Amino acid sequence: MSYVLDIALTHLRSRVRQTVVGVMGVATGVGFSIMMAALMEGSQADFIRQLVDSLPHISVSDETRNPPRQPAETRYDVVQIDGLRTPVVRPGIKNPMAIMASIESWIPGAIAPSVQAKAVIRYAGRDTATSFTGLDPKREQKVSKLSTQMRQGSLDALYKATNALILGDGLAKKIGARVGNTVTIVSGAGRTLDCTIVGIAHTGVAQIDDASSYGLIKTGQILASQIGLVNELRIRVADALQARAVATRIEAETGYKSVSWQEAHEDLLSAFEVRNIIMYTVVGAILLVASFGTFNIVSTITHEKARDIAIMKSLGFRAKSVRRIFVIEAAAIGLVGALIGWALGYALTRAMGSIEIKSPFMDTSTIPVLYSPLHYALATIVALASSLFAGYFPARKAAAVEPVDIIRGAS
Amino acid sequence: MSAETRETERGERGPLIEARKATRIIAGDVPATLVADIDVSVSPGEFVAIIGPSGSGKSSLLYLLGLLDRPTSGEVFLDGAATSALDDDTRADMRLASLGFVFQFHFLLPEFSARENVMLPMRALRRLSEKAQVARADMLLEQLGLNEHAHKRPDQMSGGQRQRVAIARALANDPKVVLADEPTGNLDTHAGERVLEILRELVDTQRRAVVVVTHDLALAARADRQIRIVDGKIAI
Ligand SMILES: Nc1ncnc2c1ncn2[C@@H]1O[C@H](COP(=O)(O)OP(=O)(O)O)[C@@H](O)[C@H]1O
Ligand SMILES: [Mg+2]
């Protein structure tokens, strides 16, 4: 072992109590940082997962991003014409089957057609708004988790009755309807349809479960009074994080507005960013405070050891070697503290992850936590860096000691 | 003639340590002159005693000769080479390899055993393998009659034993010059006598140079030469 390391560790060993206090300071900082990161990222990941699972990754709709161009605008590119009435265009995606086939040829995922319609459910004399989705049960299984989120019945049950309907469980509860009941749907297009409830779905996102109803595409087309209508293509990609890039390409190829889940929830994602900045600031502050302890210990040792430092320098130790002794002490405290902090952080995360919570927006569940080696690595790097920083200044001061100043006083 | 040969020849003929017009003034509101215009030279195989009243500047001169302090003016030569303008690291390296110090107080590292204290300069110099360092430390401790105490820490030894460990440490890297500042000051007569014998033997059998600061006249009488300092100047 190098003599410098030997001396450093001897200093720490002969000051067990101070060293333990310093190590525990760092360990607490690292432990709570890890727990906090696990909680913050856990809840974020959980929330995103719920979002991603309950909605298609990409929704291609019959809208366009800009209002349709007037013929005059196309002809003269400098003019912009306002106040004209847009010609009535038949809603829906044109040639949906051809577009689906072309997207399917390259997309890393699955695609399903759907018909969206705003409607009102009339039951027991009360009207309740619903957003109706007409879907293809076979294809839907590949683009959303709906088939796995059925509380009662199944998607395939939609084939078993004419005008079969699945309700979100919140909606069913609100109107007081059960499987087997018949409800009346009145669409925005003015069509009235008697439907049989064949299933209850539960996505876990209250906003969706309180308002959604599902049926076959054909039912949707009847409600919209338009044969062959498909006004949304729902897509699920293998890697949810690729959704934005895939959506951009689809929009470029088809001209239809194509919205990824990231774009749909841009506001949420930026709120997460703010949350992360807050988290990293707090975590950084915790670790910085922990390094004050390290500073305190190293600077106490350099004071207590002033005479030993003078001896070492008089024997011929270079200033650099003396500085290294105390930097090593700080690093050792930081390193051991970080390692104990890992255990503490893991234990705290486990404990937090086993606490049950009730939320009005989500199901009762345990607090979501995320285990990531990155959290451990980051906390360690920050703890080590701040320990080294904290140790460097007293170490530099110690190394600058002029041995004669101390030897003169002592002899 | 190569530089190396010249070094060797100079080392054999000339003085090991030499001060020329060495002056050390401490700046301040009232500048304090510790030593002034000192000319001293010490050759191999010489035992020199620096004597004088308390506060006369003996220790200050020893620090200059031992490269622990820099002269404000004048020059200190080690083995013929001027040292006052060298950087701290180079001077530290010279102390480590060529000089050995013994102070009035033993100045051992309290957490380490006698053997570990003696090994410390060897570990810093890294000239010997670890095995050879242990062997040399044990050899030095044995020469100083401490072989039974190699594993003891300083607080488990008597003052005389500690001072002998300090001498063993001073000899660890086989220095050309040993500088001692009142090495017997804290010891009883018997232990002081023992330390003195050891230093004398170094000069007689190994042709080392020894410079001892003392106000013990009996000790000074055993030296080859006495340099008397009064008020920071050499007095005749
Ligand atoms: N840092 C200092 N500032 C001012 N005066 C000092 C300082 N160090 C030592 N002195 C003075 O210098 C003189 C010489 O001191 P020193 O070399 O220790 O003498 P000695 O070893 O002969 O007793 C003394 O008078 C002492 O008080
Ligand atoms: Mg003195």
Overall domain count for chain A: 2
pLDDT for the residue B7: 45
Same domain, A44 and A173: no
Residue A323 lies in a domain: yes
- Residue A328 C-alpha, separation from nearest chain B C-alpha, in angstroms: 17
DSSP state of B231: T
Measured over the CA atoms of residue B140, residue B143, residue B149 and residue B154, the dihedral's sign is negative
Measured CA to CA, the distance from residue B134 to residue B151 in angstroms comes to 12
Ligand 2 centroid to residue B229 C-alpha, Å: 11
CB A241, CB A49: distance < 8 Å: no
pLDDT for the residue B2: 44
Measured CA to CA, the distance from residue B16 to residue B14 in angstroms comes to 7
List the residue whose alpha carbon is closest to atom 5 of ligand 1: B32
Residue A305 lies in a domain: yes
Please check whether residue B53 touches A, CB under 8 A. Answer: no
For residue B168, with 0-12 CB atoms within 10 Å meaning exposed, 13-18 middle and 19 or more buried, which class applies? Answer: buried
pLDDT for the residue B198: 85
Measured CA to CA, the distance from residue A386 to residue A240 in angstroms comes to 37
Same domain, A225 and A165: yes
Ligand 1 centroid to residue B55 C-alpha, Å: 6
Instruction: Map A129-181 to HEC letters.
Output: EEEEEEECHHHHHHHCCHHHHEEECCHHHHHHCCCEEEEEHHHHHHHCCCCCC
Domain end marker among A201, A232, A256 = A256
Residue A400 lies in a domain: yes
- pLDDT tens per residue across span B210-219: 999 988 888 8
CB A157, CB A199: distance < 8 Å: yes
Same domain, A281 and A399: yes
Q: Is the pLDDT reported for residue B3 higher than 60?
A: no
pLDDT for the residue B141: 94
Residue A10 lies in a domain: yes
Please check whether residue B107 touches A, CB under 8 A. Answer: yes
- Residue A332 C-alpha, separation from nearest chain B C-alpha, in angstroms: 19
Find tokens 């001396």 and name the residue.
A7
pTM above 0.80, yes or no: no
- pLDDT tens per residue across span B176-211: 999 999 888 877 888 788 888 888 988 998 888 999
Measured CA to CA, the distance from residue A216 to residue A159 in angstroms comes to 8
Mean pLDDT of B135-145: 92
B128 vs A contacts (CB less than 8 Å): none
Same domain, A380 and A324: yes
Pocket of ligand 1 (CB under 6 A): A 408; B 26, 32, 34, 52, 54-60
Q: Greatest CA separation found in chain A?
A: 107
Same domain, A222 and A287: no
Same domain, A120 and A47: no
Q: Do A316 and B99 make contact, defined as CB atoms within 8 angstroms?
A: yes
Ligand 2 centroid to residue B185 C-alpha, Å: 10
Residue A194: strand pairing partners: A184
CB A54, CB A204: distance < 8 Å: yes
Of residues A3, A14, A408, nearest to B124 (C-beta): A3
Same domain, A242 and A286: no
Atom number, ligand 1, closest to the C-alpha of residue B53: 22
Same domain, A221 and A146: yes
Closest-approach residue (CA) in chain A for B171: A315
Instruction: Map A189-258 to HEC letters.
Output: CCCEEEEEEEEEECCCCHHHHCCEEEEEHHHHHHHCCCCCCCCEEEEEECCHHHHHHHHHHHHHHHCCCE
Same domain, A231 and A324: no
Instruction: Determine phi and psi for A66, rounding to 5 degrees.
Output: -115, 150
CB contact set of A243 (below 8 Å; sequence gap of 6+): A57, A58, A237, A260, A261, A262
- Residue B236 C-alpha, separation from nearest chain A C-alpha, in angstroms: 26
Same domain, A250 and A358: no
CB A133, CB A142: distance < 8 Å: no
Domain end marker among A256, A278, A309 = A256
The series of mean pLDDT values per 10 residues for chain A, 411 residues long, is 90 91 93 92 84 82 72 68 68 86 90 92 91 92 88 90 92 92 90 92 87 93 88 89 90 90 85 88 87 90 92 94 95 95 96 82 76 92 92 93 84 53
Residue A105 lies in a domain: yes
Atom number, ligand 1, closest to the C-alpha of residue B58: 22
The helix-helix angle for A373-399 and A16-54 (nearest 10°) equals 150
Q: Which of A2, A4, A3, A1 is nearest to A399 (CA)?
A: A4
Same domain, A194 and A216: yes
A407 vs B contacts (CB less than 8 Å): 63, 68, 103, 107
pLDDT for the residue A238: 86
Token couple for B36: 């002034």
Measured CA to CA, the distance from residue A308 to residue A398 in angstroms comes to 10
Residue A186 lies in a domain: yes
Residue A75 lies in a domain: no
Size of interface A-B (CB pairs under 8 A): 73
pLDDT for the residue A167: 94
CB contact set of B197 (below 8 Å; sequence gap of 6+): none
- pLDDT tens per residue across span B73-106: 999 999 999 999 999 999 999 999 999 999 887 7
**Chain A positions with Cβ closer than 8 Å to B:** 2-3, 6-7, 10-11, 13-14, 307-308, 311-321, 403-404, 407-408, 410-411
Q: Do B93 and A316 make contact, defined as CB atoms within 8 angstroms?
A: yes
Residue A210 lies in a domain: yes
Domain end marker among A256, A280, A298 = A256
pLDDT for the residue A303: 92
Of residues B59, B92, B110, nearest to A316 (C-beta): B92
Atom number, ligand 1, closest to the C-alpha of residue B34: 12
Atom number, ligand 1, closest to the C-alpha of residue A411: 18
Same domain, A34 and A116: no
The range of the structural domain enclosing residue A39 comes to 2-52+268-410
Of residues B69, B89, B120, nearest to A315 (C-beta): B120
